[in-house]
Chains A and B, each alone.
Chain A
Amino acid sequence: MLARAVTHALVGLDARPVEVEAHLQRGVPSFAIVGLPDKACQEAKERVRSGIASAELEWPLRRITVNLAPAGLRKEGSGYDLPIALAVLAASRQIPPESLAEHAAVGELALDGRLRPVPGAIVAAEAARRAGLPRLLCASESAPEAALAGIEPVPLRHLAEAGAYLRGRFTPGPVEPASSISSNGAGPDLADVRGQERARRALEIVATGRHNLLFAGPPGTGKTMLARRLPGILPPLTLDQSLEATRIHSVAGVLSAGHPLVDRPPFRAPHHTASSAAVVGGGPGPRPGEVSLAHHGVLLLDELAEFHRPVLEALRQPLEDGTVAVARAAGQAVFPARFVLVGTMNLCPCGARGDPAVECTCSPQKLAAYGMKLSRALLDRFDLVVHMPRPRGRELDTGPQEPSTAVRSRVEDGAARLRAARPRLGDAARGLLVRAVDTLPLSARGRARVARVAATIAALAGAGEIEPQHVAEALSYRAPPELSP
């Protein structure tokens, strides 16, 4: 006896249809899964057997073969538990095999038969929609996420519910719509930051023009504190951007159950010990890394110089192209990775440089090695470099400062102006830029970067054309000599 269920295999950010065929034959009872399953998928045997027993259904005492087709595609993870269980139940006629038509299924089984959510439900749901399957059987936790794909999810808590539903004896509850986090509620606020006017101004420019920003200065001056407040002043995501970010977060398994829709610019801050696979993506079947999780949002590399050199070098492609191509033996994947990069660093290994109260004790060799860590090519990707010297006592004594909401409204206006009509270089501004290239160490890339930042500053000021003072301000954010070896 044969029966089929349909599920989907994650390939990068995409899902390919997989047919789960279960065949029951006479013979010594056994259970085999073929079709290139990985270890987690192979272990489905034990979960499915226990799950079916716990659902008070019968485990067929037959020679059972489950084939995952196409057999050449690697199957990873535990999402095959539910479709395998359903195919076995259909093959043993405990549920009508034809009831599985028009359904895709995905989910992990607990030993007591409960259904557990798996990563990538939204991607599986989208693939089901494309394949013309109107309904997705999934764990109830995955249902709101799957609903975002424009498909009808069937939220299930237990394998017994799945059986009852397919026999027409159970109606699943309504799917709660994907609730969004209120735009004001979460995230730290700029009002908490005292002083550091220049750094605040830089954040505003960065948020408007989506430039990359480097904070340099001694410890304790608020570099990280400010960087964490950048997502709060970025314009909210459009629906398309939200869905794209949600897809990535879903595949990586980091969606929060309560708020499956990523509707605010994501903020990612990997620790400096992170491997390059963790940052740019990797694994046998490539998974998105931190750069992709930060897509449409902010990637903060705190203590930039402490990161492993290969990790920093690997950032160059995504910074340039907005995508990252991860090639592995088991396949290649291209993940989107368009983010605002914020780096923070001290000026020397001991951290005392730039702090007038402490004397730096680093040897020249140590200093040189520190500078060497950040290649010119990477430093060249930072559009704005802001020095954050230790603020004076009086600066810290001010009252609460401008809140994030006020800054965000200026950012939104500026960004809208940039989109509508990008300010062009005026003649006077062009002259200043020519003078700067001649006088300062400024590369061709540096010049283009200054012009881009100047356009953003002009847009923030509401000017139709880039004027000399916009170029002059943009120039003040270029990398200082001690950071350009």
Chain B
Amino acid sequence: MTYTTLSRGRPGYPPLLAELHDPPARLHLRGGRSEILALPSVAVVGARSCSPYGAQVARELAGDLAALGVVVVSGLARGIDGEAHRGALAAGGLTVAVLGCGIDRDYPRAHAQLAGRIAESGLIVSEYPPGVEPAPWRFPARNRIVAGLAAATVVVEARERSGALITADFALELGRDVFAVPGEITSGLSRGTNDLIRQGATPLLAADDVLEVLGIERGPVTPPTSVSPEAGAVLGFLAAGAASLDEISRSTGVGSAEVAVALTELELAGLVSQGEGRYRRATAGRGPPCSR
């Protein structure tokens, strides 16, 4: 395993990070490619116990950004953080995980394998030397590095007093752009993000919103995949929101088995995803436009 250390004031130390009012004196890296820290990057952070909606948004947003060469920065925590890392890796992109412990301590333990995959192509980063154990008081400090490394910060899902809001605060202090993914006003998991929007954060509706800030242009849009008539009907119904298979069947008048066939077709085409028994449309303005 390659461990390297970057010192403040020496070449290689990320200039964005140096803008913090208390930048870390040393940055320990696991993974060989320290030049990644100079690439345009976006932090994608959020709640640990996230909803399927949040997980999907984090995964797809990170994948979308990573596919266009944006480095996805997050904190390797369960939930949104993990999904963001996974989404970036799945898209074949680069991702950076910032830890609140030594870079040789995979925390949480369940993400040890994920950490290994991140270190292969991207970086694991910490201000603590190897061997430092995780502790709750180190995580807010970790969050300032997440915000410091990224040109913009996206909060996907957060409760009222979530650690992800601390990251957003650091980003605001630095004068960086902060995005929040709007959620249902009835869901506690969206209270923090919706609050951010009220305070002036930009609501994130598609990956393009972030790309604009970074000054990255998307290539020509791929034409929407053509789908069968049943799949089209199902997709149209899902534009109104997530639904279970039985609800789709009842409302569209298509039989339960045929709806299952249509949903599989849409899933394979990447237009629909499922979580906890409900199917929802893929985000980020891909696929055919809403037909309402």
A, B in one complex: yes
Of the candidates B261, B268, B276, which one forms a contact with A387 in the assembled complex, judged by CB atoms under 8 Å apart? B276
- A385–chain B nearest beta-carbon distance, Å: 10
- The reply to whether the CB of A26 lies closer than 8 angstroms to some CB of chain B is no
- The reply to whether the CB of B206 lies closer than 8 angstroms to some CB of chain A is no
- A225–chain B nearest beta-carbon distance, Å: 15
- Decide: B79 and A480 in contact? CB cutoff 8 A: no
- Give the nearest-CB partner of B247 in chain A: A392
- The reply to whether the CB of B69 lies closer than 8 angstroms to some CB of chain A is no
- The reply to whether the CB of B103 lies closer than 8 angstroms to some CB of chain A is no
**Contacts of A389 on B, CB cut-off 8 Å?**
244, 246, 276-278
> Known contacts A391-B246, A395-B246: does B277 contact A354 (CB below 8 Å)?
yes
Which residues of B (27-86) have their CB < 8 Å from a CB of A? 48-49, 52, 78-79
- Decide: A482 and B52 in contact? CB cutoff 8 A: yes
**Contacts of B263 on A, CB cut-off 8 Å?**
476
- The reply to whether the CB of B225 lies closer than 8 angstroms to some CB of chain A is no
- The reply to whether the CB of A176 lies closer than 8 angstroms to some CB of chain B is no
Which residues of B (263-283) have their CB < 8 Å from a CB of A? 263-265, 267-268, 270, 274-278
Interface of B is mostly: helix
Identify the interface centre among B247, B256, B263: most chain A CB within 10 Å of its CB.
B256
Identify the interface centre among B49, B250, B274: most chain A CB within 10 Å of its CB.
B49
- Decide: A472 and B265 in contact? CB cutoff 8 A: yes
- Decide: B277 and A216 in contact? CB cutoff 8 A: yes
Bound CA–CA A195/B244 (angstroms): 12
- Decide: A364 and B260 in contact? CB cutoff 8 A: no
> Known contacts A362-B49, A472-B265: does B257 contact A201 (CB below 8 Å)?
yes
Of the candidates B49, B245, B258, B260, which one forms a contact with A360 in the assembled complex, judged by CB atoms under 8 Å apart? B49
B contacts with A, residue count (CB < 8 A)? 30
Of the candidates B49, B261, B275, which one forms a contact with A469 in the assembled complex, judged by CB atoms under 8 Å apart? B261
- Give the nearest-CB partner of A388 in chain B: B277
**Contacts of A387 on B, CB cut-off 8 Å?**
244-245, 274, 276-278
Bound CA–CA A198/B245 (angstroms): 7
- Decide: A364 and B187 in contact? CB cutoff 8 A: no
- Give the nearest-CB partner of A354 in chain B: B276
**Contacts of A440 on B, CB cut-off 8 Å?**
267-268
Bound CA–CA A439/B78 (angstroms): 24
Bound CA–CA A91/B247 (angstroms): 78
- Decide: B49 and A363 in contact? CB cutoff 8 A: yes
Which residues of B (187-215) have their CB < 8 Å from a CB of A? 187-188
Identify the interface centre among B110, B261, B264, B267: most chain A CB within 10 Å of its CB.
B264
Which residues of A (431-472) have their CB < 8 Å from a CB of B? 432, 435-436, 439-440, 457, 469, 472
- A340–chain B nearest beta-carbon distance, Å: 20
Bound CA–CA A457/B261 (angstroms): 12
- Decide: A476 and B78 in contact? CB cutoff 8 A: no
> Known contacts A387-B276, A391-B246, A481-B275: does B256 contact A197 (CB below 8 Å)?
yes
- B82–chain A nearest beta-carbon distance, Å: 10
**Contacts of A196 on B, CB cut-off 8 Å?**
246
**Contacts of A480 on B, CB cut-off 8 Å?**
274-277
Which residues of A (335-360) have their CB < 8 Å from a CB of B? 347, 353-354, 359-360
> Known contacts A354-B277, A473-B260: does B49 contact A367 (CB below 8 Å)?
yes
Of the candidates B79, B244, B274, B275, which one forms a contact with A364 in the assembled complex, judged by CB atoms under 8 Å apart? B79
- Decide: B277 and A473 in contact? CB cutoff 8 A: no
- A141–chain B nearest beta-carbon distance, Å: 48
**Contacts of A216 on B, CB cut-off 8 Å?**
277
- The reply to whether the CB of A24 lies closer than 8 angstroms to some CB of chain B is no
- Give the nearest-CB partner of A457 in chain B: B257
Known: A354-B278, A482-B276. 14 other contacts (CB 8 A): A197-B256, A198-B249, A359-B187, A362-B49, A363-B49, A364-B49, A387-B244, A387-B274, A388-B277, A389-B276, A395-B247, A435-B268, A472-B264, A473-B261
Q: Lowest 9 A-B CB distances belong to which pairs?
A: A387-B277, A476-B260, A389-B277, A472-B264, A472-B261, A197-B256, A354-B276, A389-B244, A364-B48
> 19 A-B contacts, Cβ less than 8 Å apart?
A197-B256, A198-B260, A201-B257, A364-B49, A368-B78, A387-B245, A389-B277, A389-B278, A436-B268, A472-B264, A475-B264, A476-B260, A476-B261, A476-B263, A476-B264, A477-B260, A480-B277, A481-B274, A482-B52
